[in-house]
Structure 1
Amino acid sequence: MKPFLPAILHKLGWKSKLALLAPTLLLAGVAWRHWQGPEIEAETVMRRDFVQSVVASGRVEAPHRVDIAAQITATVLRVPVVEGQVVRAGDLLIELEASELQAGLRQAEMALQQAQARLRQVTDLQLPVAEQQQRQALSNLNNAKAQLSRQQALFAQGFIGEAALDQARNALELSDAQWRLTQKQTESLRPQGSDHALAEAALAQARASAEAARARARYARISAPADGTLIGRNVEVGDVVQAGKQLMTLSPSGRTQLVLNIDERNLHLIALGQKALASADAYPDQRFPATLAFINPGVNAQTGAVEVKLDVAAPPAYLSQDMTVSVDIEVARKPQALLLPLSTLHEAPGMAPWALRIDESGRATRRELRLGLRSGGHAELLDGLAEGDRLLLASEAVEPGAHVRIKPGAVGPAKR
């Protein structure tokens, strides 16, 4: 007797035979696909130049800012500059009303002229007159001495009396007193004398008063102390400004720096002189070079960050004070390194990372790895895999030893 199923199939038509075998074939296909495993996405180990970088954001900072204020209380007459304007050192920024200051300056200059005239009077007039008077007094003294000598001789001969001799003595004493007085006057008017010193002191005081008046008058014209860009203006024509009130802010021209806060965990990676590429958040596609120039020796206890500064040798024209910037500091470079995505790693932060490699039969095999540099979502592979190996993403729920199928077009390279 023939087997039951073949006998039945022999009697049925081909359509009936197909309908009867379809469930069996479907079950066989499902079993085959189950044995092959689920469809997954994979990454490929690639060999590329690899740069490790520390990424941080910060701000643009000029060496310093200059707050410009008035030194007197006055009314604003003119403001010939606008915010954002580039100015040169000495350019007028603000002009204040200065009629009272100008009057004080004219008064001080007149006092200076008077002091100069007084000194000239001492040296050019009074001193020569005093010297002439001294010479005349000396001549009178010599005549008085000669007269007394003659009178004494006549008195000894009995030709004159005691009264005539006393008169000659008095004349000599008077001439001597006059000579001594003219001598003192002359000494006083000479450069080392008291009258000359008083005239010079008065002149110096007048000069100081005039210079002070000029300085006060200059307060009415507020000029740029250095080349730079005005990044703030808080004054208008007609305002009455107070002494010390900030009116403008100047960002001086000079070395431009980028100030960043780096996580202290990256402190061992950075060093002075390292190169970086930066971009302003407002212009993300325009990158410019910078150089690490300063590392703060202290760590912020609250944030765990270290402040660093980078010099920008040729800042782009659009770069402005306090702009937010993103910076990639290159801390290491490996040419033609084997790379794999961090997304394929299991226990990535630990000491024994591993990944699931898909072999030629589609089986997921666990591979222990030794890694080097890590940056930008990728790691340098030192040992454990070869170029071209396909890896499962760590997010896939696949056990080691299981079969998997790679989705068509779902194999990505390990990008830089």
Structure 2
Amino acid sequence: MNNRLYWLLGILTVAAVGTAVYGLVSSPTEVETIRVQQREVVEVYVATGRIEAPRTSDLGVEIAGTVQRVAVEEGAEVKQGDRLVVLRPRNAKLVVEKAKARVETRRNELREVKRGPTDADLRAAESEVEQFAAQLTQAERELKRTKALFEEGGVTEQALEQARTATKEARARFKNAEARLDRLRERPLPEELRAARARLKQASVDLERARNDLAETIIRAPFDGLVLAIETKEGERVTPNETVARMADMTSAEIYAEVDEDYFGRLAPGQPATLIFPSMPEKTFTATVHRVGPEIATDRGVVGVHLAPDSLPKNTFPGLTVDANIEVARLDQALAAPIDAVVRDPMGTYVLTVEDGTTVRQAVDVRARGEPWTALEGIEAGTQVVRHAARLDIGQAVALAGGEGS
């Protein structure tokens, strides 16, 4: 009797457990729903980029020399005209002083030419003409007397020839003296002025070149910017065209990033962006898309995008990594659902609604994928859609948690 009672109790227990398990397995899954509603949706593309400085300069020397002083350190911010590297200027200074002296000499020469002859110069020239005229008269008389004696046989032919030579030389001296006097009276002659001016101009050019060489002993910043590198040190010998420093103009700095090629048609100049530096995630900086492309890497399916920052943190430099959140779409009023309510599979994009206690697939088109809301087309406002839809199957039995969704 007791054994039969225990047997009946066992059967009842198994039946109760089985009923409980069946109830658990077949009970609907609780789901949360939410209404499709009008709201602002902003879609952002997150890209990792780096700072680039399109305007950089490799600074060298035009003359050979020895480095006397390195005036700045790498990473220094400098102003246009600031000294970077200084060479020993001794030889260049000597060349400048000599060139100055030549210019002064040529200037005095031109001044003398312009002034013309003094009264004393003219009197001296006139006196020289008179002196050589008297010598010529004397030589001609002597030649005449010698000819008469030669005809009478009183002198030799050699004596006659000597008298002729003396007369010829006296005549040449007289004519040269007359020509000098004429030139003095006509000065300044145009050709003399041109020659004197040409000599002064060449001396001035030489002085300017010497001064430029002296200036080249000081390598200065060509613009406001950042010193990227110093390629020399004090006491080192440098040669022309050798790079001694490199600079970047950070006012022209931009952000270069790569984005998925699928987004190429959705990126355009003027789109706003937010910059976040990994070393200071609590701070953000604004930027604008400046140019899309032309850089493209077909093997990786990415295209380059250039962003112009409104400002950058202090002490930034080319190559620094930055995250760029580019706003590719902004819809002020759009039908939207939470991003976790939208699912994509090989057949397209859809949301789940609930009909008669089961999930139903409803195809939709995405206008903009925001965070946390996604703008949709192909659905009516107020439609209840299931949250966390990717966890559910189509046609799955569900029950609404807490009644209707908000």
Secondary structure of 2:391's counterpart equals coil
Paired residue type of 1:74: G
Q: 198-207 or 230-239: which moved more?
A: 230-239
The match for 2:203 is 206
The match for 1:148 is none
With the length of structure 2 as denominator, give the TM-score of the two structures: 0.74
Paired residue type of 1:207: S
Secondary structure of 1:353's counterpart equals strand
User: 1: distance between equivalents of 2:276 and 2:120?
Assistant: 83
Residue 298 of structure 1: CA displacement?
Answer: 6.8
The match for 1:364 is 359
Secondary structure of 1:306's counterpart equals strand
2:103/2:203 contact within 8 Å kept:
yes
2:49/2:258 contact within 8 Å kept:
yes
Q: Which among 92, 99, 102 is matched to residue 108 of structure 1?
A: 99
Q: 71-80 or 367-376: which moved more?
A: 367-376
User: 2: distance between equivalents of 1:60 and 1:307?
Assistant: 13
Residue 198 of structure 1: CA displacement?
Answer: 1.5
Paired residue type of 1:379: T
The match for 1:403 is 397
Q: Which among 364, 371, 374 is matched to residue 369 of structure 2?
A: 374
Classify 1:51/1:134 alpha carbon distance in 2 versus 1 (closer, same or farther; 3 Å). Answer: farther
The match for 1:143 is none
Paired residue type of 1:54: Y
User: 2: distance between equivalents of 1:103 and 1:177?
Assistant: 43
Paired residue type of 1:290: A
The match for 2:168 is none
Residue 207 of structure 1: CA displacement?
Answer: 0.8
Q: What is the percent sequence identity of the aligned residues?
A: 24
With the length of structure 1 as denominator, give the TM-score of the two structures: 0.72
User: 1: distance between equivalents of 2:100 and 2:84?
Assistant: 27
The match for 1:170 is none
User: 1: distance between equivalents of 2:273 and 2:35?
Assistant: 27
The match for 1:389 is 384
Query: Is 1:310 the counterpart of 2:301 in the alignment?
Result: no
User: 2: distance between equivalents of 1:304 and 1:129?
Assistant: 93
Residue 329 of structure 1: CA displacement?
Answer: 2.0
The match for 2:188 is 189
Residue 183 of structure 1: CA displacement?
Answer: 3.9
The match for 1:21 is 12
Classify 1:131/1:58 alpha carbon distance in 2 versus 1 (closer, same or farther; 3 Å). Answer: farther
What are the residue-to-residue correspondences of 1:236-315 with 2, within 5 Å? 236-296=233-293, 299-315=296-312
2:291/2:306 contact within 8 Å kept:
yes
Classify 1:87/1:329 alpha carbon distance in 2 versus 1 (closer, same or farther; 3 Å). Answer: same
The match for 1:79 is 70
Classify 1:321/1:45 alpha carbon distance in 2 versus 1 (closer, same or farther; 3 Å). Answer: farther
Paired residue type of 2:104: Q
User: 2: distance between equivalents of 1:127 and 1:285?
Assistant: 86
The match for 1:95 is 86
The match for 1:67 is 58
Residue 50 of structure 1: CA displacement?
Answer: 0.9
| Structure 2 residue runs without a partner (length 5+) | 131-172
User: 2: distance between equivalents of 1:71 and 1:55?
Assistant: 47
User: 1: distance between equivalents of 2:280 and 2:263?
Assistant: 27
Q: 335-344 or 259-268: which moved more?
A: 335-344
Paired residue type of 1:27: G
Residue 204 of structure 1: CA displacement?
Answer: 0.9
Paired residue type of 2:13: A
Classify 1:405/1:242 alpha carbon distance in 2 versus 1 (closer, same or farther; 3 Å). Answer: farther
Secondary structure of 1:189's counterpart equals coil
User: 2: distance between equivalents of 1:265 and 1:186?
Assistant: 91
Classify 1:326/1:133 alpha carbon distance in 2 versus 1 (closer, same or farther; 3 Å). Answer: farther
2:250/2:317 contact within 8 Å kept:
no
Deviation string, structure 1 residues 124-180 (Cα, Å, up to 9, x no partner): 3x444599569979xx9xxxxxxxxxxxxxxxxxxxxxxxxxxxxxxxxx9999766
Residue 212 of structure 1: CA displacement?
Answer: 1.0
Classify 1:301/1:30 alpha carbon distance in 2 versus 1 (closer, same or farther; 3 Å). Answer: closer
User: 1: distance between equivalents of 2:108 and 2:71?
Assistant: 42
Paired residue type of 1:32: G
Paired residue type of 1:57: T
Query: Is 1:54 the counterpart of 2:50 in the alignment?
Result: no
